[in-house]
Structure 1
Amino acid sequence: MLLIGESWFVHSIHQKGFDSFTTSEYEEGGQEFVAALRGAGHEVSHMPAHRIESDFPRVADDLRALADVIVISDVGANSFQLSHATFARSVVEPDRIGMITDFVGAGGGVLMVGGYMTFAGIDGRARWADTTLAGLLPVTVRTRDDRVELPAGVEPKVVGAHAIVAELDATWPPLLGLNRVEAREGSKTLAVAGDDPLLVVGTAGAGRAAAFTSDLSPHWATPAFLAWDGYRPLFDRIVRWLSGELDD
């Protein structure tokens, strides 16, 4: 399994009276997710957002050799489509999102996880709606800011029968937000958060696709959700279903 995204740089300004100075740091998220899947026996690779340009395969065969399932979490479409060569020098480059689309259509699995830079994202900047991959997701992606902030928390509820959610709690620990989407006709909504789809799955060509519209780590994922004994089986089963190892 290949996790793409879940990384960021923070540049801070410290103002102390007349004087100010700046600090910078690099951070990665998703540690709980990676640990849970490795603990369930999966081989997991992580490609931070800033490494997409240099590390993402340039040919489809290399992508298929790298993973059976791709997880895209909190990284926007621009990071795949605007390499330095294309943006700065107008160089023709492989379409990385097109490669993921072809990967799924040929039998691979993809999971898009919610965040400020997936689906539509904050101010619509994630830009996934107008990509080829959006057409394979089991949900429709908006073209405007799709965040639903829920500071009081919402407890997800299982609403569909499926091997992914079998024997999990009917109600899950609270989440603090999600990306608002609509389930496509023919897809299966397995869990909701309030009135919004939270976990939706569907077929895509010869492959499978899933959408988990909240976070797999903070800030929308609360400590209680991350510590929940259903966290590992939930994402383990999602990945196994996407790879074809688990039936409906």
Structure 2
Amino acid sequence: MTKRILIAGESWTVHSIHQKGFDSFTTTEYAEGVRWLRAALEDGGWDVTYQPAHIAARDFPFTPEELAAYDCVILSDIGANTLLLHPDTFSRSKMLPNRLAAIRDYVAKGGGFIMVGGYLTFQGIDAKGQYAGSPAEEALPVRLMRADDRVEAPQGVVPKISKDHPIVAGLDSEWPALLGYNRLTAKPGADVIAMAGDDPLLVAGRFGQGRAVAFASDCGPHWAPPPFVDWSGYGPLWTQMADWAGGRIG
């Protein structure tokens, strides 16, 4: 049976001003950071649908029934406002379903959900991720701060497995270093599978009939530097994470 997964986020646009004395000009660059995660999941047998943030703003599913076309949904570095403020709501004041509530209800009915850390997931930089107190947080196995939750670790922080779990089966107990993560608190009953320093890095739990995973760091640069994304355990980690959340293992 085909394993289907939806990834939303992991894209950005940079608009630069180049000042050269009296004169200036601008350039714009669009980039995506999904390639490592996408390749890992496809190699693990997943059929991946990818929505960059600007596409997800309009096309991310509205209802649990639409989300049920997927075994698992991943949000990575995409703020809550992108899913709450559909262009028709923001520009035309049109009433539409709350897509964060749709994610919660999808998980409750048996779906799989993974939130990946970054500057615009969980709370993120300047707390602009804005998932704290949202329906999506209800489904997650972690509680979020109502503040900027980043822990920047330019010196590197080495993740360590703290609990046996199908998500980390066959992986080394120590992983390549990460350069930062979001500080999270595990909910009672959740499994803290890996730690970054004194903080939970990988947490899994059940919500209703479904399963959810919080991975507090990045799936690609900059928090996940080349040694991490090139690590032999990278593919198995993400594949097993999706397999567990989607109810295929464990």
Per the shorter chain, which TM-score range? over 0.9
Shift of 1:91: 1.2
Q: Equivalent residue of 1:164, what SS?
A: helix
- 1:15-70 CA distances to partner (integer Å, 9 max, x unpaired)? 111111100111111101100110111111101111123222234322212x1100
Q: TM-score, normalised by structure 1?
A: 0.97
Is structure 2 residue 172 aligned with structure 1 residue 173?
no
Partner of residue 132, structure 2: 129
Per the TM alignment, residue 240 of structure 1 is displaced from its structure 2 partner at its CA by 0.5
CA contact (8 A) 2:63 2:99 kept: no
Pick from 39, 42, 47 the counterpart of residue 43 of structure 1: 47
Which residue among 12, 28, 36 is the counterpart of 1:8? 12
For 1:177-188, list aligned pairs within 5 A: 177-188=180-191
Q: For 2:54, what is the secondary structure of its paired residue?
A: helix
- The 5-angstrom pairing of residues 156-235 of structure 1 reads 156-235=159-238
The alpha-carbon deviation at position 98 of structure 1 amounts to: 1.0
Please give the root-mean-square deviation of Cα atoms over the aligned residues, in Å: 0.9
SS of residue paired to 1:173 = coil
Query: Which secondary structure state, in structure 2, belongs to the residue aligned with residue 51 of structure 1?
Result: helix
C-alpha change, 1:59 and 1:170, in structure 2 (3 Å) is closer
TM-score by length of 2: 0.96
1:76 equivalent in structure 2? 79
* Preserved contact between residue 218 and residue 224 of structure 2 (Cα < 8 Å): yes
Could you tell me which runs of 5 or more consecutive residues in structure 2 were left unpaired when the two chains were aligned. none
- Contiguous gaps of at least 5 residues in structure 1: none
Structure-2 separation of matches of 1:53 and 1:93 = 13
Q: Residue 84 of structure 1: CA displacement?
A: 2.0
2:146 corresponding residue in structure 1: 143
SS of residue paired to 1:70: strand
Maintained 8 Å contact 2:58/2:87: no
How far off its partner does 1:204 sit?
0.6
Residues 135 and 60 (structure 1 numbering): CA distance in 2 closer, same or farther, change over 3 Å?
A: closer
Secondary structure of the residue aligned to 2:41 is helix
Counting aligned pairs with the same residue, the percent is 51
In 2, distance between residues paired with 1:166 and 1:216? 19
Q: Which amino acid aligns with 1:89?
A: R
Counterpart of 1:152 in structure 2 is: 155
- Give me the whole-angstrom Cα distance separating, in 2, the residues matched to 1:219 and 1:209: 24
CA distance in 2, matches of 1:51, 1:106: 26
Distance 1:183 1:153 in 2: 22
In the other structure, the counterpart of 2:117 is 114
Aligned pairs, number: 246
Mean CA deviation greater in 178-187 or 47-56: 47-56
Query: SS in structure 1 opposite 2:55?
Result: helix
Q: Quick check: 47-56 or 4-13, which moved more?
A: 47-56
Aligned-partner residue type, residue 212 of structure 1: F
Which residues in structure 2 correspond to 1:12-91 (within 5 Å)?
Answer: 12-65=16-69, 67-91=70-94
Structure 1 residue 103 and structure 2 residue 110: aligned? no
Shift of 1:189: 0.4
